[in-house]
Structure 1
Amino acid sequence: MSAGAAYDVIVVGTGSMGMSAGYHLASRGARTLLIDRFDPPHTEGSHHGEPRLIRHAYSGGEAYIKLALRADALWRELEEQSGEQLLYRSGVLNVADPDVYRYGGRIDDAVRHGIAAEKLTAEEIRYRWPGWTLPAWFEGMYEPNAGYLRSERCVAAYRHAALQAGAELVTGAEAIGIEAAPGGSVTVRTTKGRFHADRVIVSAGAWFSTFAPFIALPIRAVRKTVGWFQPLASDRRFDAGHFPGFTIGTRDGGYYGFPSIDGSGVKLGRHDGGADWKPGKPLAPFGSLREDEGDLRRVLTAHLPSAAGRLLRGAVCKYELTPDDGFIIDRHPAYRNVLLAGGFSGHGFKFASAVGEVLANLALTGSSSYDLEPFKISRFGVERSDYDEPA
């Protein structure tokens, strides 16, 4: 491969969504170039610090539910292809103060789509998983067929599959600009040269702002923290195989967590909040702020007290948030040969296998069988007239 070579599709940013797209493109015979400023899987984006929850009874409506079900099928295909287990059906338990969130609508949606889900009282939750301490008025929803994905292994598996299918990968290459003309080719300028393709997919995660003004999306990058805690007295009730993945919705915020996997400790993260981060700025390490551990420990102490032992380790990652926490999967408003995938808002990884397939379909056929209306940029008031060049 050499700079200046022509490709059918270039993927800029090859974390979870981009690497999946690269595989789906190359497996269909498309001349595919993958470009990343790091060497995926890596610790500079949103996919590290395994694992990630996968659920199907989703609150975003039918478009998200159908995409989640397709993603589950594609993760299983990737497992078969890679020979490695990536998806673990631990079940996922969602618990919440009903003044914050109620599960009735999601359970109704689940039933319509054939998804196993049951509503539980706080008493039933405490009986089935004795590690919980919950007020009597809390409610829950349990999905027995949900679970978690080993995120870094997933990205590595898609990388291997993409390269095996013929994709080329350039790592350590910072994309510093994109040039496009309506109906023409696209040039991606990087620190390792210029590359040309008929179409480009940009899945830049927290770095989307670096492409302004060519791409101007309402995506805000946020520093997020997670911690792994050792259960008290080596309490085995929280071990994988016994305890489900979980979410907690309280008046103090929303949290998500995982059982102790191979002695890793119970993992907990906060979904809301976080400090703004801008590309090029240092990302403060875990423990730099009092709330890094404090927020997590407070929730564990209140609701999973036997899991609130010694902090084994902490990590930081990035969310890239849209104003409505929904995804962006759409064409550039002015250049139809530039596809944009971003703003996955801390809940996107589970969908990566299906989002990659959708992006490949859009790039190669111009259409998708999925309803992509909820993911359009126009919902934020971004239109063609915001750009100099008309489509």
Structure 2
Amino acid sequence: MYDVAIIGAGSMGLAAGYYLAKSGKNVLLVDSDNPPHDQGSHHGETRLIRQAYGEGSSYVPLAIRALTLWKELDLKTEDKLFYETGVLNIGDKNSEFIQQVRRSAAQFGLGLTEYSATEVNNKWQGFKLGKDLVGCFESESGVLMSERCLQTYRDLALNHGAELKSYAVVQNIVPKSDYVQIMLNDGKIDAQQVIISAGKHTNQFLEMLNEHAPLTPTRKTFSWFQANEAFYGEDYFPGWAYDVNQQTFYGFPSIENQGIKLGRHDGGQVVKRHEPLDSFGEHTSDINDVQNQVERLFSESMVHKEGQVCTYTNTPDGDFIIDQVPGYSHIHVACGFSGHGFKFSSVVGEILTEFIIDGESKFDLTPFRYERFRN
């Protein structure tokens, strides 16, 4: 019998697998593919990590701890996992997004420098912000190499004794009084505790427990543009988040000469969880949205290089679910992360480990309780 079985070895699952195995737990990771892969929400090379968080102050303690854990992980591998490029939060000076960035920085004592549009354009000549915008710069934030991070978690988890079953199909989950039986296509396994962290497939497994979370899978895209390295390389240009007129974009400097990367956070096409995603370019917005943003935001013209698709899986309020499955004290669920969750996967892995070992977390997880959708 395993101490813990983790269904879904993506961002949260692999992080939890590492921290649990490191703590001495006997861990089995189960995934329908072979992580890291391009069938979930962690591919595409890079993710931003921000701390002065415009999405709400409840995320800031998690972001601070997450960055500490990422830096620790970076020291455990020869691969470079984190580029401290800084992140520029761009918006109207009186917008809720910018006000929340300011509030969270002040509340938690984060280093934040505010620039006018003119100051931004002078400091980073690749920008051409409109005069009504401001930029709030976090110098200690930056870019995570997402697939490298997960490969590192995988390698370290296995080095600490965890097991991984790739291409495994979970056919049923059968809770017993003091353990859980998981039926697979090639047999069954028993575990004292279970974590479900399966992204867009989460409800496939919750429904085996007569539960259903309000999760909406959405097709999203992101693109790379050929850029002038002197202006847009990682040694000079920051990562950025842009929230203006109810449109939200995000972007990256040219990391390792791959070109500027950017995508649109809002919008997208709702899909069914088993529905294949349309290829990049099948919707006119795939290129138009980011091309328009490049022309609006940057001082130099750029040529589109490549686009990819991925899946967001969001809750109605956009916040995570990190909790026990109602009615099952030995089954935990972590989901609803897409769009801004990857940066938190290090700390979520630690939180899930605390659940398993201590029964609770040191963080206030009230905003992320499952029960908020059951009232």
Please state which band the TM-score falls in when normalised by the shorter chain: over 0.9
Partner of 1:268: 262
In the other structure, the counterpart of 2:214 is: 218
Select the residue among 361, 364, 374 that pairs with 1:371: 364
Question: Which of 330, 333, 337 pairs up with 1:344?
Answer: 337
* Structure 1 outlier segments of 4+, above 6 Å: none
1:168 to 2:163 alignment: yes
Matched, 1:201 2:195: yes
Paired with 2:229 and 2:167, the residues of 1 have a C-alpha distance of 43
Conserved? CA contact 1:258–1:267, under 8 Å: yes
Listed one character per residue, the Cα deviations across residues 15-56 of structure 1 (whole Å, up to 9, x for unaligned) are: 110000001111111110000001011000000001100111
The residue type equivalent to 1:315 in the other structure is Q
> TM-score, normalised on structure 1?
0.92
Q: Which residue of 2 aligns with 1:111?
A: 106
Cα distance between partner residues in 2 of 1:329 and 1:102: 24
| Pairing 1:126-141 to 2, within 5 Å after superposition | 126-141=121-136
1:258 aligns with 2:252: yes
The SS at the match of 1:280 is coil
Q: Could you say which residue in structure 2 is the equivalent of 1:334?
A: 327
Contact 2:97–2:243 under 8 Å retained in 1: no
Using the alignment, how far apart are the partners of 2:293 and 2:57 within structure 1?
31
Unmatched 5+ residue regions in structure 1? 1-5, 383-391
Partner of 1:385: none
Cα deviations by residue, 1:50-85 (Å, 9 ceiling, x for unpaired): 110011111344431111111111111111222332
Cα distance in 2 for partners of 1:305, 1:194 equals 58
Partner of 1:32: 27
Once the two structures are overlaid, the 10-residue window that deviates more, 109-118 or 99-108, is 99-108
> Which residue in 2 is equivalent to 1:243?
237
C-alpha deviations, 1:197-235, integer Å up to 9, x for none? Answer: 01000000111122252231011111110000112xx46
How far, CA to CA, are the matches of 2:72 and 2:299 in structure 1? 38
Contact 1:13 1:205 (8 Å CA) reproduced? yes
* 1:8 aligns with one of 3, 6, 23: 3
Partner SS, residue 328 of structure 2: coil
Bigger shift: residues 251-260 or 188-197 = 188-197
1:173-213: CA deviations, max 9, x gaps? 122321214x4211222223221101000000111122252
Shift of 1:305: 4.5
- The count of corresponding residues between Structure 1 and Structure 2 is 373
RMSD of the alignment, in Å?
Answer: 1.5
| TM-score, length of structure 2 as denominator length | 0.96
| Preserved CA contact (<8 Å) 2:321 2:336 | yes
Q: Secondary structure at the match of 1:59?
A: coil
Q: 2:90 matched to which residue of 1?
A: 95
CA contact under 8 A between 2:225 and 2:304: conserved in structure 1?
yes
CA separation of 1:252 and 1:297: change in aligned 2, threshold 3 A: farther
1-structure distance, mates of 2:239, 2:352: 29
The residue number in structure 2 matching 1:78 is 73
* CA–CA separation in structure 2 for the residues paired with 1:331 and 1:22: 17
| d(CA) in 1 for partners of 2:339, 2:56 | 17
Q: Which runs of 5+ in 2 are unaligned?
A: none
2:350 aligned residue (357, 375, 378): 357
Contact 1:322–1:345 under 8 Å retained in 2: no
Which AA in structure 1 matches 2:145?
R
Q: Partners in 2 of 1:288 and 1:194 — Cα distance?
A: 41
Aligned counterpart, 1:288: 282
Give the counterpart letter for 2:220 in structure 1: K
Q: Secondary structure at the match of 2:32?
A: coil
> In the alignment, which of 314, 320, 323 is matched to residue 316 of structure 2?
323
Q: Distance in 2 between matches of 1:294 and 1:166?
A: 47
1:237 deviates by: 0.3
